[in-house]
Structure 1
C-alpha cells in the first residue's frame, strides 16, 4: 500500500479527500493529516509518505521552498498541490521543482482521482528513465534551495548567522544544505559567507572616514583580527593595503 498524507488548513478539505477518495482502489492508504506546513513537514519526516496532497499557501511556510526541500530530501515522493492561488508563474515553478499535479481549488473529485491515478502510475513505473528524471528534479530543487540560501545570506550577512539559520530558512537539514552548497558552488557555507562579507567590506573600505574595525563590524565580524585574516586570505592583501591601492 502506498502511504498518503494530506496537508491543508481547511479541515473540510482534509476530511473530504481522506474519506471520499476510494484509496484502496488505487492501493493507497491515508497515514496522517496536518493542518499547517510546520506540522506537515514534521509528520512527513516521520511517516515518509509516497504521496502528498498539500496546500502551499498556508501560514508559517513558504510553499515553493517547502516543495524544493521535500524533493531534495525525498526525491521519490509524489506531490499534488491543491491551492486557490491562481498564479501561472507560481504553478510553473512548482511543476519545475517536481510537483506532479497542480490543482486549483475547488477541485472536483474526478480531478483528484486522476491525480491519484497519475501519481500511483509514476510510483509503479519500473525504473529506467525514472532515476534520470528524479536526479534532474532533485537538481532543479537543489538549485532553487541554493539560490534561496545565498539570497538569505546576502540579506543577513551583517548579523551573526549560522548554517542552521540558513537551513531553517530553506526547510532542509544542515547536512542537506551543506551538501547542496558544495555541489552547486564548490564552496562551504563559511567560505560563501566570508566571500559575501569581504566583497561588501571592499566597497566600505573606499570610504576613508571608516576605520578597518568599523568595516569589520559592519560586515558581521565580531573580531577585527579574524576579519583581517579572512580579508587577506580572500583578497591576497591586508585591508589597509587594499585601501591604499584604491
Structure 2
C-alpha cells in the first residue's frame, strides 16, 4: 500500500523538527513529503510534494493559516487538514473548520498519542475515498462501454440494412440524437497500403469515435478483422453546404492527423455525396466499399471525394501485346519491358478506372504464372508467399509501385529462365521437375507424376530418363537427400525427424538411402560438417 504523504507548515522551527523527528511516521504508514516555515513556502512546495494531509499552524507571519487552508482546499478538494492551535486562538480554529479543515489539535498536548489517532482516522477516510473514486471510474467506464456498444450496433444495423422504422426511432430516443429531418454523409476510412497497424493500448476505433461524436453525435463502425472504419455523419438540412464543404472535411483531417500522430497509422478516406434519407445508407456504403481501391490513383491524397471517381469505361483502350512481352522476356530485353510497362501504366493512370486496373493486374499476374510453369521454375523463386495471393493488388499504394513491382518480377523471370536454359528440358519434364521440387515431402509415384504432366506412365518414364539421364526414383531421392543435408546442418532435429521432413517415414530406410547418395550416415554427415565449420 502507498504511504500517506504529510506536509507540515509552522513558523516555529522547533515544532517542525519535533514533528519530523519524534514521531515514528513510517511505522504507521506515513511519510513527511515536505515542511514549510510559512504559507508562501507551502505554496511553492505543494505541487511537488502533493500531500494527502496538511498539518498547519493558524497564526503565522504574512499569509496566515486561514488563507492557506482556503487556497489549498480549492487547489485540491480532497486534501485533509489538521489545525495546530493554542488555547488563546480557538476562534481561528473554528473559522478553519468552517473553511474545510478536518481536525484541530492543541500544540501543548501534541505527541504520538494525540496526533496518530487523528492521522489514522484521516488515513482511513483517504483510503475509502480512493476506493470510491476507483469504483466510480469503473462504473463510468462500463457505462461508456455500454453506450459505445449501442452506438456501434446502431451504425452497423444502419449500414447492413437491418433496421426498421421503430428501431430507428428507438435508437434516436435512446441516444438523444435529433436526426429525424437530417441529411447524412458517409466516410470510408482505411489504412493506407503498405502501412502496418501495430498493437497498442488505444485502439483506432476509440480514437475515431472520440473525435467524430462531437459532430452531432456521428457514429463509427469498424469492419470486423480489418483496418477500415465507416463514419456516419448527420447534420440539419439548413447547414448542408457548411458541413459538406468545411465541417466534415476538417473533422476527417483531424481524425487522420491524430491516427498518424498517436498511433502511427496513415489513413485515406473516401467521402460520399450527401443524402436525405437514412434508408439510402446501405446502398451508399456498398458503393464506397466497391470503389475504395480507386485511392491507388491518388496516392498523394488523404481525402478523396465520391465525385472524383469515374464509373464509366475509359475512352482510350488500355492493353498490351502479350506476344511482344513474352518474346522480350525470352530474349532478356529488359529495356523493352520497361518501356512497355511505363506506357501501359500511364494509360491505366489516365483511365482512372478500377475495372481496367483489375483487368491489367490479372493479365500480367497470369503471364508470370504461365512463364513460371512453362519453364519449370518453383513458384517461390519469383513470388514470395504473400505475393502468390490473388488479391495482392490491394497492397499497392500507387500505380508507380505496381509498375515497378511487375518490372522487378519480369527481370527476375529473365534471370531464372536464362539459368534454366542451361538444361533445355522439354515442357513436360520441366513440369515434372518443378512438381518434384515442390512436393518431394509427399508420397509421390510415377503414376501421380504422369497425371500431373498429362503423359502416360511409360511415356514419362522413358522421356524423363532420356532428358535427365536418371530415372524418376533417383531424381526424387536426390532432391530429398539434398533437403535432408540442409536440415542436418541448419537445425537440431533428430535424424528420424529430418527423414519425416523430407518424405521418409521409415528412419532405417532414410539412413540407407542417405548412405547410398552421401557415402555416410546422416549422423556422420552432421558431425563432419559441424567439425568443418
With the length of structure 2 as denominator, give the TM-score of the two structures: 0.23
Structure having the higher Rg? 2
With the length of structure 1 as denominator, give the TM-score of the two structures: 0.49
More relative contact order, 1 or 2 (CA 8 Å, 6+ apart): 1
